[in-house]
C-alpha cells in the first residue's frame, strides 16, 4: 500500500497516535457483544492509549467549530457500541443520525459489500446508465411499496438522488407541476404541512416550517397541528382543489417523536382523493425500521408520493428515493438529481439490508413493541418527572414535564454511557429521543431501560444542559 494513503498519514501530524487508538478500540469492542459491553458503559477504557484529538475549529459553530478538540467525538464503533475520543464506552441509542440500521461494521453487510466490489459493482456511475443493483433496488421498492394486487400501484422510483432533501424537493416539484397542469401557471397552489415537520433543507421545503418568510410568494403554505382532525377538515373544505399537496411524516422525529394517528392519515388521504391534491408521506425517518419496510404499508394507506432516505442503505453512503405513479412522472431529466445519485454499491447494501429485515421480521417487530412498553413503564413509575411515551416501534420519545428535566436527564445519560438526543430547542419541546438499531434485542433494550431507571431514581432531573437535538 502507498504509505501516503495509510490512515496514520492521512490523519495528519496526530494521525499515528489516533490510528493506534482506533486499532486498540476495535480490539476492545470485538464483535460488539452486548453481554460483555453493557456492564462497562460509561467507563474510560484503559486498553486504548490516550491521544490528542484533531482540532475542529474549522468546522461550523453548529458542529462544534471553535471549541478546540472533540473529547466527545466518535473514535471507533462496532455493533451498537462506540468509543469516543475520551476513550469512554457508549451505547448509540440513535443509530448514528437515525440511519445506521444494523449498527457499525456489521459483519454480513460488510462481507456483501466486499464481495460485490470484487465482482465489479462500482461505488457510483452516471445515472443514465445505472448498474444492475440500482435497477434491482427499484424493482424491490416497487414490490415492497404496494399491497398484493394493488390496482393503482406506485410503479416508478426516482433513485438518482443522494439525500432525502433532494428527494423531498423532487416530490414538491411534482406536486407543484401537477397542480400547474391542472389549474394553469397563474393559479396559487396551497401546500399543507404539519407543525414541526422536517422535509429537508431545500429552501421551499424549509418554507413549509416557516423559514425564509416572504420568499415563497407563489405558494400559500398552511401549517396544521398534528392529529387535529377538525383543522384538517376545515382547511380542505375552505381551499379544496387549490391544495396541491399534503405532507406528513408518520412519526415526527423533529416534533418530539409525535406519532400520527392512523385515522388522521386516512382522513388526509380521503381529502386528497376528493380534491386532487397529492398526498406525500415522508418516510425518511420511518422507512426500513419495521418488517413492512414502510409505515404507510403497516397503516394501510395509499399515498401518491413516498420519500425514502436515511435507513435505505443502512448508513452506508447516502442514497435516497421517491416512489410515485407513472402518471406523476412529470419532471424533466435533470429537474431532480444528485451527481452521485446512481450509487450501485449503496444500492447493493440496501438490497442486503432488506433481506436481513425480512429474515428477522418477527424479532424486529417484538423489539419495537418492547421499546415502547419499556418507555411506558418508565412513565408510570416516574409520573412526577415524565409526561408521556411517544413514537411507534423503534422511533421513540420520552417526554418530560420540564425542559430542564429533559436536558439534565440527557446529560446524566451521557455520563452513564447512553448517547441519545433531546428536543428542547423549541418552546414546549422537552423530549428525549431514541432510535435503537435493529440489532437491539431484549438484552439491549432492557439494559437501556434499566440505565434510564437508575438515572431517574437518583432524583428529579432539573439542572439544564447545553446539549440540543437535531432532526
- Looking at the structure, do residues 316 and 255 belong to the same domain, yes or no? yes
Do 52 and 167 fall into the same domain? no
Number of domains in the chain: 2
Q: Is residue 86 domain-shared with residue 126, that is, in the same domain?
A: no
Q: Which helix (H) or strand (E) holds 25?
A: helix 15-29
CA distance 159 to 154: 14
**Do 120 and 74 have their domain in common?**
no
Residue 123 lies in a domain: yes
Residue pair 415/407 in contact by the 8 Å Cβ criterion: no
State residue 222 phi and psi, 5-degree precision: -115, 125
- Burial class for 185, CB neighbours closer than 10 Å (0-12, 13-18, 19+): exposed
Whether residues 176 and 58 share a domain: the answer is: no
Query: Rounded to whole angstroms, how far apart are CA atoms 313 and 346?
Result: 6
Q: Are residues 45 and 189 in the same domain?
A: no
Residue 445 covered by a domain: no
Residue 361 sits at the vertex; the CA angle it makes with 359 and 367, to the nearest 5 degrees, is 130
Q: Look at residue 16 and tell me if it is in a domain.
A: no
Question: Is 350 a domain residue?
Answer: yes
* Dihedral angle sign, alpha carbons of residues 41, 47, 50, 51: negative
Instruction: Tell whether 454 is covered by a domain.
Output: no
Phi, psi of 125, rounded to the nearest 5 degrees: -160, 180
Q: What's the rounded Cα separation, in Å, for the pair 413 and 202?
A: 34
Q: What angle do CA 112, 117, 122 make, to 5 degrees?
A: 125
Task: Evaluate whether 140 touches 288 at the Cβ level (below 8 Å).
Answer: no
**Residue 35: inside a domain:** yes
CB 73 within 8 A of CB 56: yes
Residues 197 and 334 in one domain: yes
State the residue for C-alpha cell 501530524: 13
Q: So what's the pLDDT on residue 467?
A: 41
Last residue of a domain, one of 359, 377, 410: 359
DSSP character string of 62-106:
GGTTTS-S-TTSEEEEEBTEEEETT-BEEEETTHHHHT-TT-BS-
Q: What is the pLDDT along the chain (471 residues), one digit of tens a residue?
A: 898 999 999 999 999 999 999 999 999 999 999 999 999 999 999 999 999 999 888 888 878 776 655 678 999 999 999 999 999 999 999 999 999 999 999 999 999 999 999 999 999 988 889 999 999 999 999 999 999 999 999 999 999 888 999 999 999 999 999 999 999 999 999 999 999 999 999 888 898 988 888 777 788 999 999 999 999 999 999 999 999 999 999 999 999 999 999 999 999 999 999 999 999 999 999 999 999 999 999 999 999 999 999 999 999 888 999 999 999 999 987 788 787 778 999 999 999 999 999 999 999 999 999 999 999 999 999 999 999 999 999 999 999 999 999 999 999 999 999 999 999 888 889 999 999 999 999 999 999 999 999 999 987 555 444 344 444
Cell numbers for 147 = 399491497
Is residue 459 situated within a structural domain? no
CB contact burial 277-308 (16+ within 10 A = b; e otherwise): bbbbbbbbbbbbbbbbbbbbbbbebbbbbbbb
Max CA separation in the chain (angstroms): 68
Q: Is the same domain home to 264 and 125?
A: yes
Residue 205 belongs to a domain with what CATH number? 3.40.640.10
| 35 plus 132 within the same structural domain | no
Residue 42 lies in a domain: yes
Strands (E), 283-392: 305-308, 320-324, 386-392
User: Does residue 178 sit in the same domain as residue 294?
Assistant: yes
For residues 69 and 125, membership in a common domain is answered with: no
Task: Give CA–CA dist 341/343, Å, rounded.
Answer: 6
Do 77 and 141 reside in the same domain of the chain? no
Name the residue with cell 434491482.
136
DSSP string, 203-218: HHHHHTTT-STTT-TT
Residue where one domain finishes, among candidates 359, 393, 424: 359
Domain that holds residue 281: 114-359
φ, ψ dihedrals at 315, nearest 5°: 90, 0
The residue from 320, 339, 359 where one domain ends is 359
Amino acid at each position: 500500500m502507498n504509505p501516503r494513503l495509510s490512515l496514520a498519514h492521512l490523519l495528519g501530524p496526530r494521525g499515528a497516535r489516533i490510528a493506534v487508538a482506533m486499532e486498540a478500540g476495535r480490539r476492545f469492542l470485538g464483535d460488539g457483544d452486548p453481554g460483555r459491553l453493557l456492564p462497562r458503559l460509561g467507563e474510560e477504557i484503559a486498553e486504548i492509549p490516550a491521544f490528542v484529538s484533531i482540532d475542529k475549529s474549522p468546522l461550523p459553530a453548529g458542529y462544534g467549530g471553535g471549541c478546540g478538540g472533540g473529547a466527545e467525538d466518535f473514535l471507533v464503533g462496532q455493533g451498537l457500541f462506540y468509543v469516543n475520543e475520551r476513550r469512554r464506552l457508549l451505547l448509540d441509542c440513535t443509530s448514528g443520525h437515525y440511519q445506521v440500521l444494523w449498527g457499525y461494521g456489521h459483519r454480513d453487510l460488510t462481507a456483501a459489500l466486499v464481495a460485490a466490489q470484487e465482482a465489479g459493482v462500482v461505488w457510483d456511475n452516471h445515472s443514465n446508465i445505472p448498474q444492475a443493483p440500482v435497477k434491482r433496488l427499484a424493482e424491490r421498492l416497487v414490490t415492497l411499496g404496494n399491497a398484493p394486487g394493488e390496482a393503482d400501484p406506485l410503479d416508478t422510483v426516482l433513485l438518482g438522488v443522494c439525500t432525502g432533501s433532494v428527494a423531498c424537493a423532487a416530490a414538491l416539484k411534482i406536486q407543484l407541476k401537477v397542480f400547474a397542469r391542472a389549474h394553469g401557471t397563474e393559479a396559487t397552489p396551497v401546500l399543507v404541512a404539519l407543525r414541526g415537520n422536517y422535509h429537508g433543507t431545500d429552501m421551499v421545503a424549509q418554507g413549509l416550517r416557516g423559514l425564509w418568510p416572504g420568499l415563497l410568494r407563489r405558494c400559500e403554505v398552511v401549517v396544521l397541528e398534528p392529529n387535529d382532525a377538525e383543522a384538517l377538515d376545515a382547511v380542505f373544505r375552505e381551499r379544496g382543489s387549490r391544495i396541491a399537496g399534503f405532507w406528513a411524516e408518520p412519526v415526527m422525529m423533529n416534533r418530539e417523536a409525535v406519532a400520527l394517528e392512523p385515522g388522521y392519515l386516512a382522513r388526509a388521504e380521503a381529502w386528497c382523493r376528493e380534491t386532487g391534491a397529492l398526498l406525500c408521506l415522508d418516510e425518511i425517518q420511518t422507512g426500513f425500521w419495521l418488517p413492512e419496510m414502510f409505515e404507510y404499508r403497516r397503516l394501510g394507506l395509499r399515498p401518491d408520493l413516498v420519500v425514502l432516505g436515511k435507513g435505505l442503505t443502512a448508513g452506508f453512503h447516502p442514497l435516497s428515493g421517491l416512489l410515485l405513479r407513472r402518471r406523476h412522472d412529470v419532471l424533466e431529466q435533470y429537474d431532480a438529481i444528485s451527481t452521485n445519485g446512481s450509487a450501485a454499491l449503496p444500492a447493493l447494501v440496501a438490497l442486503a439490508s432488506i433481506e436481513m429485515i425480512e429474515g428477522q421480521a418477527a424479532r424486529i417487530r417484538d423489539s419495537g413493541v418492547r421499546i415502547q412498553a419499556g418507555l411506558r413503564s418508565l412513565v408510570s413509575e416516574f409520573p412526577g418527572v415524565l409526561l408521556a411515551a411517544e413514537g411507534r416501534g423503534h422511533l421513540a420519545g420520552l417526554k418530560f414535564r420540564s425542559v430542564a428535566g429533559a436536558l439534565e436527564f440527557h446529560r446524566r445519560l451521557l455520563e452513564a454511557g447512553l448517547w441519545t438526543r433531546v428536543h428542547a430547542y423549541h418552546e414546549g419541546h422537552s423530549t428525549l429521543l431514541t432510535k435503537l438499531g435493529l440489532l437491539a434485542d431484549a438484552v439491549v433494550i432492557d439494559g437501556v431501560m434499566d440505565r434510564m431507571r437508575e438515572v431517574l431514581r437518583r432524583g428529579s432531573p432539573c439542572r439544564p444542559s447545553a446539549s440540543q437535538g437535531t432532526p
